[in-house]
Amino acid sequence: MPRTPLVVGNWKMHFDLDRATKAAIQLKNVLGDLKSSVDIAIAPPLPWLVPVEAAFGRTQRLELAAQDAVPGTEGNETGSVSMGMLRDHVRYVLIGHSERRLGKIDTHETINAKVKDALRRKITPIVCVGEFVHLYDRSRRRGRPTKLEAESNIFMQLRRALRGVKREEMSKVVVAYEPVWAIDTGTPAEPDYVEIMVATLRRAIAKLSSKRIAANTRILYGGSVNGKNAADYAARPGIDGALVGSASRDPKEFAKVVAAFASK
Ligand code: PGA
């Protein structure tokens, strides 16, 4: 079964309501009628999720992702928003983004609980994995982390995120490979490097589940992807899409990334 490319725009903590709505309308105008088989999702800041949903209207092309959510439906958890509350609004949820891992807002345990709860509620988890910051610091002294360091770090994250997830559910998980040193730095990881890491991630998924499931699992790349470099990643057979930060805040630029993967 071919893997449908997926391009996700993560607006992070940007945009006021007016700009969010305008960007949503622009995206709808540019991408709403796209016929090709590429899945597209936008992760707006939480308060703008419903207004963006309204701006997208009935378009089938544009879906929504949550930037985060906690397991459960209701509870005495001041400040939290649950998977259950978001279930009718989003198709995807980002889990374990490095900006949350690094601030220790998310741990391996909370990430694992979120993945399981999202699956239970039929929200597709997009599990972000990437080299931790101490490797990044080391990398500043002597280049990148070694392949071995990076791999063991990422596999540990993956293993712990998927702990207890049933084999047959694993193919519903999307994995985003996001090396921390490439996020919002304007220094994307080279496509060659990403291809190797994605292939090793796929082997790790096969070990946790099966070759067939790994072959069906979508693995995205994220880290300074933009309209100019997207085609270089889309050209690699193992890279199934992109998780886009900065460039997703410019609808035209984001549309270029989508177009690169649409012609995959
Ligand atoms: P960036 O962010 O595209 O701005 O590097 C990517 C991400 O944080 O997922």
pLDDT tens digit sequence for 102-116: 877 999 999 999 999
- Cβ atoms of 136 and 181 within 8 Å: the answer is yes
Q: Does residue 146 or residue 139 have the better pLDDT? A: 146
From the CB of 188, is ligand 1 less than 6 Å away? no
Distance CA 90, CA 126 (A): 12
| Residue among 183, 246, 254 whose CB has most ligand 1 atoms within 8 A, to mutate | 183
From the CB of 244, is ligand 1 less than 6 Å away? yes
DSSP 229: T
Residues 33-79: tens digit of each pLDDT: 788 889 999 999 999 999 999 999 987 789 999 999 999 999 999 99
pTM comes to 0.93
From the CB of 184, is ligand 1 less than 6 Å away? yes
| Residue among 10, 106, 258 whose CB has most ligand 1 atoms within 8 A, to mutate | 10
From the CB of 183, is ligand 1 less than 6 Å away? yes
Measuring from atom 3 of ligand 1, which residue has the nearest CA? 245
57: left (phi over 0), alpha (psi -120 to 50) or beta: left
Distance CA 98, CA 105 (A): 10
Residues 226-263: tens digit of each pLDDT: 999 999 999 999 999 999 999 999 999 999 999 999 98
